[in-house]
Amino acid sequence: MVKKGFELLQDAFENKGTAFTWEERKSLELEGLLPPRVETLESQCARVYGQIQGKTSPIEKRHCLTRVFDSNRTLFYKVFQEHIAELMPIVYDPVIAESIEGFSEEYRGPQDAVFLSIDRMDEIETALKNGAAGRKIQLIVVTDAEEILGIGDWGTNGVDIAVGKLMVYTAAAGIDPATVLPVVLDAGTNRESLLADPLYLGNHHKRAEGEPYMAFVDAFVQAAESLFPGLYLHFEDFGRSNAAVILKKYQKQFPVFNDDIQGTGIISLAGDPRRHEDQRRKADGPALHVLWRRNRRGRHHRPHLQGNGGRRPVRRRSPEPLLHGGPPGPAL
């Protein structure tokens, strides 16, 4: 069913804003819902970039960008890609930390993310369906936000780290934003300031541990893999002990990548890999050791990441793969 009128303007994936032509405005029941001038994407981009330059602080610039993200995904990525070196620190690290810390107090909307609660596990499948909204999801970045680099445990506020990571994937690697889904697993938080904050939007209880926590993660993984065949799962900013357990549990079942183990682990042991073989085994377990051995022999797993417009698969110069583990999924 073709969306029309206000419903179309509220769909960030389909909305073109003032770039709708007069023919489109007539066929899509947009007459009178937009200012008269028909703009190009380039002129829209210039306006947004001017608005960003007029902001006095990095966090205000990020808020300006996220408003565009929420209303017009094409325009957001046009601006981001045109000025990627300048805007990367605004969209992601380090400004994203300030965004995470103020997420509940400054709540601006869900940003097409899915919020899953350990207290409502019976809703996981329904929530994922609602988040996908009929889209074919091929990549999920999921976090429980226990150890966000540099700022620690931020519970549901940490959803921004999953949203931001996917923004970077699309802008830098060309992944179709309509095929991705950010997810936060709210298992509670151990940050006392959040638990005492009446405006905090997450669960107001301590983090679940052990079997209840793993049952929550497993319920999510099983539901996601069932709903979205061939899915890649990227686990982001989990506590290191949980990250290792999760990677070991799923790496032979599904295509998964854990940034806390396979990404950070590799980067932190940069240098001559032969010199660090023992440290790699001890620090990261057999999963990362197998990953490194595959890299060393040149047989590492590289998914074909393909975005809008039939772009060629991305070719990466670095030896480490972006995604690893499990049977190969379809091209993204």
Q: Report the C-alpha dihedral over residues 231, 232, 236, 241, rounded to 10 degrees.
A: 100
| Nearest-angstrom CA–CA distance, 248 and 252 | 8
Which candidate, 267, 257, 113, places its Cα nearest to that of 177? 113
CA distances from 109 to 6, 58, 124, 168, 287 (A): 18, 20, 20, 20, 37
Euclidean distance between CA atoms 288 and 265, whole angstroms: 8
Residue 92: active-site member: yes
In this structure, the number of other CB atoms found within 10 A of the CB of residue 15 comes to 17
- The active-site residue out of 165, 169, 200, 232 is 165
- For the question of residue 248 being annotated catalytic, the response is no
- Are 253 and 233 within 8 A, CB to CB? no
Q: How many CB atoms lie within 10 A of CB 157?
A: 27
Q: Give the active site residues.
A: 92, 165
